[in-house]
Amino acid sequence: MAELMANSGRCTYFFLYDGTKVQGEGDPTREGICYFYPEQTPVDQQELLCGQLAGVGRCVSELSSSPVRVLRLRHSKFAIKMEDDFFWALGCAMDFPTVSMCDRLDQLIKLFCFYNGPVRQSYQTNSRETLALCWSRYLFYLQAGATELHHIFSCLRTIDSTHIDPLLLLKAALILQACQRCPLVLAGCILFRGRVVSTQMPPCLTVRVMAHETQTYNKDERLNGMSSSFPLSSAVTSTTVHLTLSELQDLRSTTVDRESRPHSTPSQGSRPRRTRLSRTLSDTPSTESTPDLEPEPPGRPMRLDAPLSPGLSRGAEQRDATPTNDPLLSPASPRFPEISPLTNQKGPRRGGQEEEDEEDGPLEKSRYYSFHSPDGNTSQTEFQGEAPPPTDASPLGNPPPAGRRAPEREGYPEGRAASGGSGGDILPGAGVKDRTVVPMTLYQHRVKGLLLALLVEPHLQRDTEAMEEVYHSSLASLNGLEAHLRTVAPGAPGLQGPYTFAHYDCVQNTLTTNVSGRAGGDQDHSFVRATSLLHTHFCNSDALQEAIIRSARTAVYATRSVAQETYFLQHGGALRNSGVPNHQDTAFTLPSKARHRLLKHGVSLL
């Protein structure tokens, strides 16, 4: 797709510089350059940029005792990340919002860590060339396709739900639910031709999972423990991925009641369970079948998998393989309250999600118990059932004294912290939680353009029965779903009208807009410009609820709530005006126009 407007969202430079490689006076700067984009940049210019920016970055961070976040030159700007002597810089054009630029850098780094594990470690085990390939892929992925608006909000690309039978979305959601009946499956998503159909994961994880799917050149990928030789089918592959402790914890908690714990705000109460979790994890054997990078202490007793999974999968096996016919699905649905088929975003209920949570939380839990106890699934209920309401006072839940964090990080690099034996000797604080990574497996089942991606516990792969169960339970429905989705006309333009709008769902990280990205007209351009300014303003101001900004040619109205941001521009009717305050000014009719017009796009501003 030739996207004219995507240009300003493109990054101009991206590099990763390793400060540990250049410490002596005589060390050439190029030793420290791990990756530099654009790759054809002359080496001396690479050295200049890396050397100067990293040097100045260090100097400033010493002065302020805090890492540099944004570094701006007269003609370009850089999002900076400084961590463990690594220095990342992502350069963008000046008119690209700074907040979005910083988001993208974070996304990029997390994406890398998701597939390759901690950066320092992957550079120890892999060659720069191999990893350079990864960086360039991820960079390409994050910038590919979508319109500039998508870049501004760094949002997920979803299928256009207005053109799809809602039943198909429901079906997709049900497939995911069915897979989740295997307790080793944490969460999943269904993608169709690079767009999300349905997802159970938080948006930040969905983006990363999608990166793998969108890589058209993933055929030759054998890096990092990817093994495609599955006995079931060549359509199924799996890859090792790395989740941080907090991400993992959120995923695990969501299988119970995600609603009461929005992923963005891990509550205090969920901490104790995490420590239990890490102990459970530490017991997870990770020998031959887990294509894990880091050696783990062998010989730990198995506790979780052996008694648990077969029982469950057997139970599941007895049921019908097609989940839609499964009578048990209806009672099961409360168990998966997080399922959010994308149709949901239209409903006004997303806006008030936080309020609803309060009511739903306890209810879900009680249903969960009643649903699970007949299974006799003790081990499972042990760690999930103990998930206490936020009032739990386990000593393990308290964050460690700040002073302890740094040594912990060094003492237990990355995944080791999770496998460090009894949970008692590690008190993961927030920092450690975000930086400690746990290897998991990404199970992928492809049916032509459709992909089912599941985040599963690593030992699912050794559990043939469970594997087969997951595979068979979803196979038929996936085929059906694919056939239906294929018939939907791709890329039908959004409903056009004498207006331009963009509606961003902050919770699901999705965007609805009628800016096509192809036309790139004058109006569209000024709309995008205004949107990026207003979005930045929204990001920087908590109290701001709505805004109208008007220049001689255009007036844009923007409004936001906790869950969404909406931008609206009315075409036509040249705004001949003096700019003096005038209540007849058309700009001030925008709010009511937006309310009316956007209703048919499923956007409610009431």
Query: Between vectors from CA 80 to CA 76 and to CA 86, what angle results, nearest 5°?
Result: 135
What's the CA gap between 93 and 252, in Å, rounded? 39
Under the criterion CB under 8 A, does residue 596 sit at the interface with other proteins?
Answer: no
Under the criterion CB under 8 A, does residue 363 sit at the interface with other proteins?
Answer: no
Under the criterion CB under 8 A, does residue 38 sit at the interface with other proteins?
Answer: no
User: Phi then psi for 545, rounded to 5 degrees?
Assistant: -110, -45
| CA trace torsion 390, 561, 148, 508 (10° rounding) | 40
Shortest separation between residue 80's beta carbon and other proteins, angstroms: 9
Taken in order 94, 97, 98, 104, the sign of the CA dihedral is negative
Under the criterion CB under 8 A, does residue 488 sit at the interface with other proteins?
Answer: no
Shortest separation between residue 338's beta carbon and other proteins, angstroms: 31
Under the criterion CB under 8 A, does residue 555 sit at the interface with other proteins?
Answer: yes
Shortest separation between residue 112's beta carbon and other proteins, angstroms: 20
Residues 511-540 that bind other proteins (CB under 8 A): 529-530, 533, 537
- Whichever of 20 and 551 has its CB closer to other proteins, that residue is 551
Q: Contact 492/160 with Cβ under 8 angstroms? A: yes
Q: Which stretch binds other proteins (CB under 8 A): 65-73, 164-172, 451-459, 593-601?
A: 65-73
- Whichever of 75 and 219 has its CB closer to other proteins, that residue is 75
What's the CA gap between 595 and 333, in Å, rounded? 34
Look at residues 514, 488, 516, 491 and name the one whose alpha carbon lies nearest to residue 503.
514
The correct pick among 67, 225, 385, 400 for binding other proteins (CB under 8 A) is 67
Look at residues 594, 509, 585, 507 and name the one whose alpha carbon lies nearest to residue 559.
594
Look at residues 465, 478, 455, 502 and name the one whose alpha carbon lies nearest to residue 598.
502
Q: Which stretch binds other proteins (CB under 8 A): 58-66, 152-160, 221-229, 506-514?
A: 58-66
Cβ neighbours of residue 112 under 8 Å, at least 6 residues apart?
119, 122, 134, 135, 138
The correct pick among 1, 43, 48, 167 for binding other proteins (CB under 8 A) is 48
The correct pick among 349, 551, 599, 600 for binding other proteins (CB under 8 A) is 551
- Look up residue 167 and give its two tokens: 């039943």
Number of residues in contact with other proteins under rule CB under 8 A: 55
Residues 83-142 that bind other proteins (CB under 8 A): 94
DSSP string, 281-315: HHHS--SSSS--SS---S-PPP-SHHHHHHHHHHH
Under the criterion CB under 8 A, does residue 493 sit at the interface with other proteins?
Answer: no
Under the criterion CB under 8 A, does residue 366 sit at the interface with other proteins?
Answer: no
- Whichever of 234 and 584 has its CB closer to other proteins, that residue is 584
Residues 562-581 that bind other proteins (CB under 8 A): 575-581
Residues 458-477 that bind other proteins (CB under 8 A): none
The correct pick among 492, 552, 562, 599 for binding other proteins (CB under 8 A) is 552
Q: Contact 437/149 with Cβ under 8 angstroms? A: no
What's the CA gap between 513 and 444, in Å, rounded? 30
The correct pick among 5, 11, 68, 172 for binding other proteins (CB under 8 A) is 68
**N-term to C-term CA, the chain:** 36
Which spans of this chain sit near other proteins (rule: CB under 8 A)?
48-49, 52, 55-57, 59-76, 94, 529-530, 533, 537, 541, 543-553, 555, 575-583, 585, 587-588, 591
